[in-house]
Amino acid sequence: MSATGFDVCVSGSGAVAMSLTLALSAEGWRVAWARAPEAASPAKADVRTYALNARAITLLERLRVWPALKAFSSPVFEMKICGDGGGALSFSAWQQQVTELAWIVDAAALERLLGEALRFAPRVEIVPPLQGAQAPVKAALLAICEGKHSGTRADLGVEFARRDYGHWGVATRLKAERPHNGVARQWFRSPDILALLPFNQPDPDASYGLVWSVPKERAEHLLSLNTADFELELNDAVLQSAPEAAEQIGHLSVASEVAGWPLALAQADRWMGPGWVLLGDAAHQVHPLAGQGLNLGLADVDTLVTVLREARAREPWRSLGDERTLRRYVRRRETPTRAMAGLTDGLLHLFADQRAPLKDLRNAGMTLVERLGPVKHWLVGRALDA
């Protein structure tokens, strides 16, 4: 324990905050968890699914959460991506020489299991939320994991440059007539992007998590539909995108509520300062088309804990909140995060453009990447490591 009482105060209530709290506790630091008050009444069912990569799974294994979470997850063995003019790209686990490309996990189960693990974590104390940018306890480091709407980030004077896409993400759980066989599918349909992620609920072998990025007006229309009409439009979209895939999937039925939220690209102008640091969506927000949002946040957790551990071993005289130490974290995370943000942003705008020359170019480029094995291998490698 530091002379200030706690080593770290973690502010936030989501998966990134809980993972960081667990990881710091496992390293022997005393952690104050400043979580938001629990809602008086239960919120709507969480229909989100996360595509977790190898690095995220490794972190959850170290936190001893993965064995229980695996029951609420489904592996992805193959990813098939189609353009809007004949372009196609596919990735498989065997090509990458890995067991699976990713795991599709239940968002609510992940947060519930992290919360249960924290009940038994040593050296963790729950404290009241922050007031302004002030922690309720003395701590050497304040780790801000409050999400994209972080109030503490604003109180610290950090600019969060946000650009709305004018698109919304529409999500729900689906049941299919035929087994998914661990195949994830994504269609760039110009201007929308439709993704079906293999899942194990409600049917262990024939369920999907839907992530559909559509213009705001289209999202409002979809969210206003009754279940039967939503299913009709969804199945029609799959049929229009790929008749052969529609035959392999069979009819899709909605198995949960349908939810939607606005999508944006955002980046904090500073990730750290004296005694504080940003992680996860409080530092960066990307389009979900590559499924890397939470992976980036968990990579932030993994990197920060590694940097703090290294500093403790090599420079034990430094405070956890020392700016030199925190700058090492930023240097390791800023470049890969900006690269992923640039990739998703570029793909979205490329496929949203309706001009014929660009349509031909983007589909030809997709097919070219499919033929270039080393390029494919490199792209998947980056995604597996976030």
This prediction's pTM: 0.89
In whole angstroms, how far apart are CA 91 and each of 83, 87, 96, 362, 374?
15, 14, 8, 18, 12
Angle at 133 between CA 313 and CA 329, to 5 degrees: 30
Secondary structure (3-state) at 72: helix
Q: So what's the pLDDT on residue 43?
A: 62
List the beta strands (DSSP E) in 243-349. 252-254, 259-268, 272-273, 276-278, 284-285
- Report the amino acid identity of residue 382: R
Q: So what's the pLDDT on residue 376?
A: 47
Phi, psi dihedral angles at 374 (to 5 degrees): -60, -35
Q: Report the distance separating Cα 68 and Cα 85, nearest Å.
A: 42
Q: So what's the pLDDT on residue 233?
A: 97
Q: So what's the pLDDT on residue 375?
A: 46
pLDDT in tens, the chain (386 residues): 444 589 999 999 999 999 999 999 999 999 999 997 665 455 678 899 999 999 999 999 999 999 999 999 999 999 898 876 666 777 888 877 789 999 999 999 999 999 999 999 999 999 999 998 899 999 999 999 999 999 999 999 999 988 888 899 999 999 999 999 999 998 988 888 899 999 999 999 999 999 999 999 999 999 999 999 999 999 999 999 888 989 999 999 999 999 999 998 899 999 999 999 999 999 998 877 656 789 999 999 999 999 999 999 999 999 999 999 999 999 999 988 887 777 666 665 555 555 555 555 555 555 545 544 554 455 555 555 55
Q: So what's the pLDDT on residue 203?
A: 93
Task: Dihedral sign for Cα 248, 254, 255, 259, please.
Answer: positive
The two three-digit tokens of residue 314, written as one number: 């090599």
- Bridge partners (DSSP) listed for residue 198: 208
Tokens 């994991």 belong to residue = 145
CB 139 within 8 A of CB 6: yes
For residue 79, the surrounding DSSP H or E stretch is: strand 78-82
| Short-list 292, 48, 76, CA closest to 184 | 76
